[in-house]
A and B are shown apart, each in its own frame.
Chain A
């Protein structure tokens, strides 16, 4: 009997492995190997002509991370990603709350509306924002017609943050929606029943119970914002160099693959830390 059980379990796990094989192979070739290449390159040497030599392993690329210029770029990327995350949270939470409390029919329509922008190429949408925010663009003209004068925000950090909030908002909305939607509203009623006013009930019950969504959404927004390349390239100015663009530059004009690789490793490390924080928080809740 036990032997039969065991062989059945073995067959099951064999079948499971078989199903996972395509994905495993794909990730091995297009994720694990490139990742290994990047890590390897980060310890390699750049010759004077910009070639990468895979001998004489060293940490000089990591040393360069601590130069003032690089630290400033990392810091700028960090706070712009933070501002983007906070703004996304402020915009998305009320909306996700509204979404989750509608009748299922309305909810589905609104969810589709949230997704629709993704049917258009992201690059084109960012160019549209560039047009919108330009000093002679519609936003500026509207402001002038209303008597507030024209404004210049294109090619400033503000424009980059606006663009990033726009690009990543959905990543905040969806996990928040899921968290709020699956919350038991009876718990809020229980809090109200136990003398908590509306605001207090939100603070003591709704917010803590939807925190998993807040954390998941924040990571999903923070991570791509931190390494964002397209948005700052199109909406940011020369003065607001961010990490993503800086990495790209190392692999492009600067031809410093080892340094670019080291920067990428740092990015990956930051994201890993974020994921670990999330999992810790989840584990604490359970």
Chain B
């Protein structure tokens, strides 16, 4: 247990949470660094919100323990933890004005009233709501309520800010706007953000690191690009974006047998004869004519286009190959060579742009 400033913001050690017979969170170890923007990503019911609620102190682990800012939390109630929460539907106090909402935490911490008011006004300015302090929260739009909720939490300068699907109730345009605003706010205040979402795009665009969860398990913790480009589990690959998953086996000469085709794989060396799932993103694959030359060192397989879909900014092709059907996505650039259904083609990709998946 470290007491200095470089302590990890949040640590979970073997944390389990059961509700009756249901295991909501299954033995999770996780360290979130000071100042990090960390996202917990997963479908609803995967346990991500339960983890957030345990950090906040609304739930207590059934087993294991967690620490905030190097302090073991144990049964510490929420009001004595150095964290604040932005709730899913904001949970603004309807019987108070915006300013009173933002001042609440400071007044509870016995900050003198005039100082609290000053600090609250400053944070409201920061979220560009300075003029609305005297309004009741019910008189605000969704986006404004969202900002008040942020201000109400940030004004307390918590060690960790917990955000529970804070953009879920906003429409698309506003959500995208708030994403970049949240990101710059994070940089500005330097507080650790723990962000719960089921929206992969939100997680990818804002986070320093993402933890992907499913059914109470933390499947992979990594940077957004690693999570997207090199998922390690079938669920992670499938949950985020589109991906080709192909059955493969390790051939005796160290190459990979993909149906009737042989390809190369970087970095990983599974045992000979072992079968696994090879994953590759549609946009990582190049499509060329059957006679066109391909850069040496790339994996290449020939196949036939069976289906083409137009997306405006891109074309998506289904290509039948000896290794299985591959979905290929090509940007619709002026120099894009368009193929038709039935055309013979060659697909190619870099050996390091595919991933090996375990269940």
Interface residues of B in 256-275 (CB under 8 A from A): none
- Is B339 an interface position by the 8 A CB rule? no
Question: Is A194 a contact of B91 with CB atoms below 8 Å?
Answer: no
Question: Is B79 a contact of A193 with CB atoms below 8 Å?
Answer: yes
- Complex Cα gap A189–B57 (Å): 10
- Is B333 an interface position by the 8 A CB rule? no
Quote the shortest CB–CB distance from A115 to chain B (angstroms). Answer: 30
Contact of A186 among B78, B79, B84, B91 (CB under 8 A): B91
- Complex Cα gap A208–B93 (Å): 10
Question: Is B85 a contact of A195 with CB atoms below 8 Å?
Answer: no
Question: Is A184 a contact of B105 with CB atoms below 8 Å?
Answer: no
With both beta carbons as reference points, the residue of chain B lying nearest to A200 in the complex is identified as B108
Question: Is B91 a contact of A189 with CB atoms below 8 Å?
Answer: yes
Q: Which of A191, A198, A208 has the most CB of B within 10 A?
A: A191
- Is B109 an interface position by the 8 A CB rule? yes
With both beta carbons as reference points, the residue of chain B lying nearest to A211 in the complex is identified as B95
Question: Is B109 a contact of A195 with CB atoms below 8 Å?
Answer: yes
Per-residue interface assignment for chain B, residues 49 to 90, with 1 indicating a CB less than 8 Å from any chain A CB and 0 otherwise: 000000011100000000000000000011110011101110
Q: A193-B84, A194-B152, A196-B79 are in contact. Are A208 and B108 (CB under 8 A)?
A: no
Q: Which of A187, A193, A204, A205 has the most CB of B within 10 A?
A: A193
- Is A209 an interface position by the 8 A CB rule? yes
Question: Is A192 a contact of B95 with CB atoms below 8 Å?
Answer: no
Contact of A189 among B58, B83, B94, B108 (CB under 8 A): B58
Q: A194-B152, A205-B93, A209-B95 are in contact. Are A189 and B79 (CB under 8 A)?
A: no
Quote the shortest CB–CB distance from A202 to chain B (angstroms). Answer: 13
Quote the shortest CB–CB distance from A280 to chain B (angstroms). Answer: 16
**Residues in A whose Cβ lies below 8 Å from that of B57:** 192-193
With both beta carbons as reference points, the residue of chain A lying nearest to B136 in the complex is identified as A286
- Is B37 an interface position by the 8 A CB rule? no
Contact of B104 among A186, A191, A197 (CB under 8 A): A191
- Complex Cα gap A209–B95 (Å): 7
**Residues in A whose Cβ lies below 8 Å from that of B84:** 193-194
- Is B156 an interface position by the 8 A CB rule? yes
Quote the shortest CB–CB distance from B62 to chain A (angstroms). Answer: 20
Quote the shortest CB–CB distance from A204 to chain B (angstroms). Answer: 8
Question: Is A195 a contact of B79 with CB atoms below 8 Å?
Answer: yes
Question: Is A208 a contact of B89 with CB atoms below 8 Å?
Answer: no
Question: Is A194 a contact of B156 with CB atoms below 8 Å?
Answer: yes
- Is A277 an interface position by the 8 A CB rule? no
Q: How many residues on chain B are close to A (CB under 8 Å)?
A: 25
Question: Is B108 a contact of A194 with CB atoms below 8 Å?
Answer: yes
Interface bin, chain A: 20 to 34
**Residues in B whose Cβ lies below 8 Å from that of A197:** 77, 79
Per-residue interface assignment for chain B, residues 305 to 318, with 1 indicating a CB less than 8 Å from any chain A CB and 0 otherwise: 00000000000000
Question: Is B105 a contact of A195 with CB atoms below 8 Å?
Answer: yes
Q: A192-B78, A194-B108, A197-B79 are in contact. Are A186 and B89 (CB under 8 A)?
A: yes
Q: A194-B156, A195-B105, A195-B109 are in contact. Are A187 and B79 (CB under 8 A)?
A: no
Question: Is B156 a contact of A186 with CB atoms below 8 Å?
Answer: no
Question: Is A184 a contact of B77 with CB atoms below 8 Å?
Answer: no
- Complex Cα gap A200–B80 (Å): 13
Quote the shortest CB–CB distance from A183 to chain B (angstroms). Answer: 10
With both beta carbons as reference points, the residue of chain A lying nearest to B155 in the complex is identified as A194
Question: Is B87 a contact of A195 with CB atoms below 8 Å?
Answer: no
**Residues in B whose Cβ lies below 8 Å from that of A190:** 85, 87, 91-93
**Residues in B whose Cβ lies below 8 Å from that of A15:** none
- Complex Cα gap A8–B85 (Å): 50
Quote the shortest CB–CB distance from B273 to chain A (angstroms). Answer: 54
Contact of A184 among B58, B91, B156 (CB under 8 A): B91
What are 23 of the A-B contact pairs (CB < 8 Å)?
A: A186-B87, A186-B88, A186-B89, A187-B93, A189-B56, A189-B85, A190-B85, A190-B87, A190-B92, A191-B104, A192-B57, A193-B57, A193-B58, A193-B79, A194-B152, A194-B156, A195-B105, A196-B79, A196-B104, A198-B77, A201-B79, A205-B93, A209-B95
A-binding residues in B (CB < 8 A): 56-58, 77-80, 83-85, 87-89, 91-95, 104-105, 108-109, 152-153, 156
B-binding residues in A (CB < 8 A): 184, 186-187, 189-198, 200-201, 204-205, 208-209, 285
